[in-house]
Structure 1
């Protein structure tokens, strides 16, 4: 019945817009069942309280919840039941986080291949929420979570963004690639309630001027998007001698990618507001971000336990064990993301959170069209249907020419390659016609020493096209 109602609402954009407007007028506790339920409110309050704890109390909390997660996994998750038995690991005897170092690391490939065994037998199938990602890796992945998991995750984001004044009632502009309204796709913009959504697929001089006019009328307080997307937008504004959006603008929130000084320079030069960094992942093992006074990444100790796998004297790979997703626990998960040596406290805000200055491993996924425009690649397809593909990658070294490389698994058929190409073109909208794609089937897999794959192997320098 709910699915039929959803299809009816999405069948007509006028109906959909009316429903969205109605929902936005409701009190927060009645909006978006998953986002603002009781778990959200409890977790948000807990984060506010526990950010004042000292290091000893935070470490005690982590040990308690690490042990609880391990015991649960050993009792309810088939993968860990077999793993613990194989290694003679007894989670109830864990006395220190170091005790888990006897267990092997969990990588993305294992999660992809063993996903059914990683799902808790104690969670009803109807309660599972599938989350799809290829991240920046091009390795299709499905993570299963629950309503409670999603509420805790969203509460963590709201707490983080709140460090520069954001609230769920705040007016925001959200940049994305493919905008849908009902059955229509690749629209230039959409608006509902306190959110204005703008498509990066329409970054042309004509549309930049229209976007600035839309924002001036909308009066947003924050812009949210990928670093390279907002940097490109600001570059267009600078080239058009447009150096303001609205007096109401308070900040910019960047997420999902590496953040470079030249990007921050363009954003601050054009917009003149504060910038906050947000680091998270669909796998939900680690979450971090800036504080009120520093751009350094602060890891949330309440969200999970983080290990630092040393690669050399100054570089570490982030390895996470998440506390918030009991539906599909990931223990000692190798993220492939790199950081510098972490400090144990932020001297500026006083939180006893691990902090570091930068994260490496997340390059922006963008392509260059034949007419030398920069377009974002963001795929939101159901990757579970691509079960016969190990990995895919877009390779570009010339504007307007891209190779789609496919690493097939057993039982692969060429229709799956066409499905990926269709989804890529769908995300690019009208810009897809400005790029020639060639599909190439590969017969082996090689990665960087960190094990981090790239969905886009981009050999063109984005700064040459700004």
Structure 2
């Protein structure tokens, strides 16, 4: 079985990787300075020109780019090639303002699909597999990315898209899907649906590639146990490319960044100063290899840390730890930083399903947090006293984890809206 999709570059020396990145950085800075007025203006304001960038260390001289910048430049303001060279766009949902778009040339799509192919092979994928893509297609990047990667590997590709769970399970059983690609919350829902229908013995899945949401190690273990698979994390974001920017190997010990396409940095989310490898901070990317829509020092708002130690799998590219949350999704409740992933960890350790919702409000000038948690069908038939006892146990466990009190309410099975895209875990009424 092939271990790498592109062995020469995936196992290249650090010197070779840094040479590629240095040449790419110098090239992209010159390109955007000359071709993108939006970038040139930001660089002039920072007092930097392409002549100031001579090595990778000089990247810190360049200005950051944020999602607000992308919205301000919408639709064509950051395009670095003539529009006629572009063959596709993808876009975010735009739920918090103007949409964020990404443009692709044919070469950009080829590069993107290579990254996804690397991820599939790292998860054990071969040309004998049936890859079941249940990420959304259309403007969302998930479906198209894994679809293209699967075809490059030579796998039979099922372009299922999201939703229509009955059809998902029919194709999964009829065609013998072996690798599932979707969000972790939808994987959990599919596992639940398989159990309800009693068809687990008809499922041939061996691996899953799950992304687009932050998920915990406990949720991984739960999905692996219920689906009988090995579950791999994958990272990407529309602005940079889509899934395949980074991916896990069989070691499941961090996601390998495609460093021949991207330069990663970790910065302090408050001071924006770079932090050493191993220290937690905000992930920043420079997509130097992109032709149509290269981004320089783009602040992802994702919280993680990085290591450049060679992995046991033989890959040499830097790894990021699975996401710990987002700097903009982090809740501050009664002065305490709260991430949904922390709540999820507690619930799974308490034997609860991964379907929950946090409701944060402010009453009489004081923050409140309520956690709605679905019961299993077995629990729902328990006595009221047993349910109340479980609620108290979860309250105690959350207090131990978070350091603050959260009200817990166990609710009927399937009463919390299921997600076939990204799960809506938080409702913050303080912002409404």
TM category (shorter chain) comes to 0.5 to 0.7
User: 1:92 deviation in Å?
Assistant: 3.7
User: 1:139 deviation in Å?
Assistant: 5.5
Q: Which has the higher contact order (CA 8 A, sep 6+)?
A: 1
CA contact (8 A) 1:345 1:351 kept: no
CA contact (8 A) 2:233 2:322 kept: no
Distance 1:60 1:288 in 2: 20
- Secondary structure in 1 aligned to 2:188? helix
CA contact (8 A) 2:284 2:297 kept: yes
Aligned equivalent of 2:316? 352
Distance 2:12 2:48 in 1: 31
CA contact (8 A) 1:307 1:319 kept: yes
Listed as ranges, the matches of 1:19-168 within 5 Å are 47-115=6-74, 116-120=76-80, 122-125=81-84, 127=86, 129-134=88-93, 140-167=99-126
Indicate yes or no: 2:183 matched with 1:254: no
User: 1:397 deviation in Å?
Assistant: 8.5
Unaligned runs of 5+ in 1: 1-43, 180-192, 365-372, 376-395, 400-433, 436-453, 461-466
User: 1:167 deviation in Å?
Assistant: 4.4
Indicate yes or no: 2:299 matched with 1:337: no
CA contact (8 A) 1:252 1:273 kept: yes
Distance 1:225 1:99 in 2: 38
User: 1:100 deviation in Å?
Assistant: 2.6
- Secondary structure in 2 aligned to 1:359? coil
Distance 1:144 1:127 in 2: 7
Indicate yes or no: 2:418 matched with 1:458: no
User: 1:66 deviation in Å?
Assistant: 0.7
Aligned equivalent of 2:285? 320
Aligned equivalent of 1:300? 258
CA contact (8 A) 2:43 2:63 kept: no
User: 1:73 deviation in Å?
Assistant: 1.2
Task: Sort the Cα spacing of 1:246 and 1:398 in 2 relative to 1 into closer, same or farther, 3 A.
Answer: closer
Aligned equivalent of 1:464? none
Aligned equivalent of 1:200? 163
Distance 2:315 2:220 in 1: 25
Range with bigger deviation, 81-90 or 253-262: 81-90
Listed as ranges, the matches of 1:281-296 within 5 Å are 281-284=237-240, 287-296=245-254
Task: Sort the Cα spacing of 1:176 and 1:351 in 2 relative to 1 into closer, same or farther, 3 A.
Answer: closer
User: 1:311 deviation in Å?
Assistant: 3.7
Unaligned runs of 5+ in 2: 139-155, 330-339, 341-353, 357-369, 374-415
